[in-house]
Structure 1
Amino acid sequence: MPWVVMAVALPFAGMLLALPLGRHAHRLAWAVLPSGLAVSVLLVVQVWRGGETVAYAIGGFAPPLGIALRADGLSALLVLTTALVVCATGLFALAEFRPPSAEREARASVLFWPLLFALWGALNAAFLGGDLFNLYVALELLTLAAVPLVSLEGKPETFAAALRYLLFALLGSVLYLVGVALLYGAYGTLDIALLAGAARSEPAAWAAGALMTAGLLAKTALFPLHLWLPPAHAGAPAAASAVLSGLVVKASFYLLVRLWFDALPAVAHPEAATLLAALGTAAILFGSVLALRQERLKLAVAYSTMAQLGYLFLMFPLTGGPTEAQPWSAGAWNGGILHAISHAFAKSAMFLAAGLILEAVGHDRIAGLGGIGRALPMTVFAFGLAGLSLMGLPPSGGFIAKWLLVTTALASGQWWWAVPMLAGGLLAAGYVFRVLNPALAGADEPVALRRPVPRRRQAIPLVLALLSVLLGLLPLGPYRLLWVGRPTAAEEGLG
């Protein structure tokens, strides 16, 4: 079976096997997690060595009659990023979602693993799907897995947050699906490769693109459609928060990139790209200020997610447009995607670190974390290391990503986009050091931990934080993976 198919099939097979296993589902993680990681590595190697998109027609029926899975450099790299974060989160969750043999089955322990595997499969289906309708199906499967993870602990406030998340997700789904129907009615196909050659700049395509973009923005929680994200991500268990913030919101952004650059390159307008970047700018500033004002650690990290997502939308005007690639387009493309990947590692690390602090001291009030750095040095170090990427300090991946975006803004004559990026870095330093200051300061009395935190669990967020930093130390060669399978117009600007 091709690796592109295995990447989707394996997590869903794990979900189906986990359901009847009940309290023993956690044992399946020891097989599914490393196997899924190995498949993602092999897929990246296949794309890298081949130097072209890997495609597979399901059932042997080629589009438009059949459905194709496609892995280019971007999708393969996101599949690998997803595997790394899910594997780290799964190892972290083994201690929390593994009921002792003497206790009765707990709902959270039984449901977490099927939901995690379903979420993994849905993410891979979204990254590898080549058909706009089947991407809609992947998004719906992602929602069905993500919403229960928010309310897994059964608290009233998490139920409210999950319901708000569900309402925004359904709104986004309806808008996206109406746009898909318009495109099918106008062009008779939903395959991305075929649609790119058929779609023209006309009212039907404009309306479809606008509706689908609005729906995906609601799922990505871009300002001002962000109201569901902070309570959902902050209220979920730490392992769930890590995948929600690090991965789930990236899927809808990825679909937006596919829609603009691959499916409808002739339809996108510079004015629309400017609007997306303006909303991204508002997200950076507004989210950072709100993160600075939070009293709870997980809420501060959740609002920083809203802020960091804003950087992703600055790549739209900086690339020069889907059909007007410029010499500087490579910097914007590399910077935007590298930021998405480094943010996935950094934010997952921060949520896992925040979860360990909450577990150890029984609360996550920032003012009450005095001296926690001495009690949990590895955890606090991981939090600070991940913060380097959010602030954009060298040598982190976040630094390289933001440097590429800033230099692209200056080279393209769009210097005004550099201002919110630099301001966002300063604000990020504010909310990161607002946590580190009391954590590293001396306390009148040693911090009393409610329960000890094993070093092996503290090592997991540290590894993720290190990955977000090591991305900034990679040579430029691997970045060419991001260009494999790009449309001709993009390749001219990226070469």
Structure 2
Amino acid sequence: MTASGLAALPLLELTVVLPLAGLLLALPLGHHGARATLALAPIILLVTALLCIEIMWSGAPIERVAGGWDVPLGIALRADGISGAFLLTTALVACAVAVFQAQGGQDGGATRRSTFWPLFLATWGALNAVFVSGDLFNLYVALELLTLAAVAMVAYGSTEAAMRYLLFALSGSLVFLLGVALIYAGSGTFDIGLLGSAGAGDTAMTVAAAFMTAGLLAKAALFPFHAWLPPAHGNAPTPASALLSALVVKAPFFILVRIWFDIGPETSGVLMQLLGYLGVAAILYGSLLAMRQERLKLVIAYSTVAQLGYLFLVFPLAGAAQDLPWTAGTWSGAIFHALSHALAKAALFLAAGIVIEAVGHDRLQGLAGLARDLPMTVFAFGIAAVSIMGLPPSGAFIGKYLMLTGALAGGHVFLAIVMIGGGLLAAAYLFRPLRLMLLAGETQPAKAIARRRQVVPLLLALAAVGLGIAASLPYALLQIGRSLTATEGIE
């Protein structure tokens, strides 16, 4: 198929329409919604891959206006390199989670409920809508759909955790919406492209961006707004934990990147520095808490708190001087880390789900010798852990290396030290459960788990490593439509 042939297809619209159409199809099917989801998932993956190819071939963002009206009445859709990368990663993780959970297991009760698969598809559709929305109001609508679907899935495992999540999320929504209203009052538009080219006054834009940022931090669970994340991710059913940690918390970060790098005012240096130091606190606090946990899923959940901190280092590193050569690599490094973390963290949670299914719990002290019964699962956990630590040749290594070199080039020595220290702390809290699984010891017999089920987290873990091995292609994709002007990085 040629570039013109791809351009003639409504690929951008289909990335959102297909999951939401699947939602409507799965609702009346009840627990049979798994079949509809499994039939639809590869189609969405194919559409997403073709959209990425179209973006690469065109060398420019793909823009559409849905609804039959021009902006501002029509629904503005836009997919650039970062959108394509997040869309494709979302499709890969979602397909893996769907295949994993459709085979049954410890959370089978959740999947048998008539609402699970519609909620799964709603989450997928809302994520895609966030990644392609071209205006702030539609971003808000998509984010709210994502929140409601995610909270409902958490409620399958813990009503208390779901209510805490909902409280944080709704509070964040109100503050974010206030910022959107201030933007519209000052500019008369929600369109991100128009705001980026014209913009409101610097002071008004900074105040509005500060409100939106505060609301999004609550949804992203950045320290100190992280209190909802460990109980939600640690107690949710396995597929929900994987989706939440791998994808859902990335959506607010994606919007923050749009706000600060596409439409943010130039007078926002202090706020960007603040975001960076909150990221530092998240890396240290999340890592230390992860080392103290006695449940495997809570170790992984607190790891998410820590790893999210790395993403927010991009704001002081790449935001202060966007025209310097090293800022391009720093910006791309943060996105690389986000994508690699999504793949590896989904693998960790799915592996933890298999462990719970096999032995009936996730207490660390009861996992000794588990590698004897579940070698493939433990191997997948180890590969994913290597990626989270940022060791070569994983995608996280590429991301953290680019951020580290950017920090040193920009004179941010303290941030560089924190990044290195965070990697060492990650090794400490992830090697602990891995060491226990590998040690010989008396443990209760593990239930036999089908190999086809265990292969899913292994493939995700290998994908996280493969992202680093084939780094040039995703790096080139990320440069398309990027707001920064520098281009140095991976050759």
State whether TM-score is above 0.5. Answer: yes
Alignment correspondent of 2:150? 146
Q: Counterparts of 1:478 and 1:467 in 2: how far apart (Å)?
A: 13
Which of the numbers 476, 479, 482 marks the counterpart of 1:480? 476
C-alpha deviations, 1:68-114, integer Å up to 9, x for none? 110101001100000000000000010228999xxxx9785322110
1:317-328 correspondence runs (5 A): 317-321=316-320, 324-328=322-326
Q: For the residues of structure 1 that align with 2:105 and 2:295, how far apart are their CA atoms?
A: 24
Matching of residues 246-257 of structure 1 within 5 Å: 246-257=246-257
Specify whether residues 426 and 249 from structure 1 end up closer, same or farther in structure 2 by C-alpha distance, changes over 3 A only: same
- The CA distance in 2 between the partners of 1:106 and 1:170, in whole Å, is 24
The aligned counterpart of 1:25 is: 33
Structure 1 residues 478 and 263: alpha-carbon distance in aligned structure 2, compared to 1, 3 A threshold: same
How far the C-alpha of 1:259 sits from its partner, in A, is 0.5
Tell me the CA shift for residue 443 of structure 1: 1.2
Q: Which residue of 2 aligns with 1:286?
A: 285
Contact 1:53/1:70 (<8 A) preserved? yes
Preserved contact between residue 483 and residue 494 of structure 1 (Cα < 8 Å): no
Name 2:16's counterpart in structure 1: 8
Does structure 2 retain, via aligned residues, the 8 Å contact 1:82–1:120?
A: yes
TM-score for both structures, normalised by structure 2: 0.95
Residue matched to 2:272: 273
Deviation at residue 416 of structure 1 after TM alignment: 1.3
Cα distance in 1 between the residues matched to 2:37 and 2:74: 33
Alignment of 1:302-451 (within 5 A): 302-321=301-320, 324-444=322-442, 447-449=444-446, 451=447
Q: How many residues align?
A: 481
Match of 1:73 in 2: 81
- Give the Cα–Cα distance (whole angstroms) in 2 for the partners of residues 245 and 42 of structure 1: 26
Equivalent of 2:466 in 466, 470, 473: 470
How far apart are residue 197 of structure 1 and its match? Answer: 2.0
Query: 1:440-491: per-residue Cα shift (whole Å, max 9, x none)?
Result: 000146x402x3210011000000000111111114244121011123xx12
Q: Tell me whether 1:112 sits opposite 2:116 in the alignment.
A: yes
* Distance in structure 2 (CA, Å) of the matches to 1:72 and 1:61: 22
Moved more, 469-478 or 250-259: 469-478
* Contact 2:77 2:132 survives alignment (8 Å): yes
% identical equivalent positions: 55
Q: Which residue of 2 aligns with 1:188?
A: 188
Equivalent position amino acid for 2:324 in 1: Q
**CA distance in structure 2 between the aligned counterparts of 1:347 and 1:477, rounded to whole angstroms:** 22
2:186 and 2:200 in contact (8 A); partners too: no
Moved more, 389-398 or 76-85: 389-398
Aligned to 2:211: 211
- Partner SS state of residue 113, structure 2: helix
Summarize the Cα distance change of 1:348–1:137 in structure 2 as closer, same or farther, 3 Å threshold.
Answer: same
Q: Which residue of 2 aligns with 1:259?
A: 259
| Aligned residues of 1:325 and 1:493 also touching (Cα < 8 A) | no
What is the DSSP-based 3-state SS (H/G/I as helix, E as strand, rest coil) of the residue aligned with 1:225? coil
Change in CA separation of 1:89 and 1:206 when aligned onto 2, cut-off 3 Å:
same
Gaps of 5+ in 2: 1-8
Q: Which residue of 2 aligns with 1:94?
A: 102
Q: TM-score, normalised by structure 1?
A: 0.94
The AA in structure 2 aligned to 1:291 is A
Structure 1 unaligned blocks of 5 or more:
none
8 Å CA contact 2:206–2:268 kept in 1: the answer is no
8 Å CA contact retained: 1:23, 1:98 = no
**RMSD over aligned Cα atoms:** 1.7
Displacement of 1:393: 0.9
In the alignment, what sits opposite 1:131? 135
* Inter-partner Cα distance in structure 2 for 1:416 and 1:99: 43
Measured in 2, the distance between the counterparts of 1:221 and 1:197 equals: 31
Q: How much does 1:64 deviate?
A: 2.0
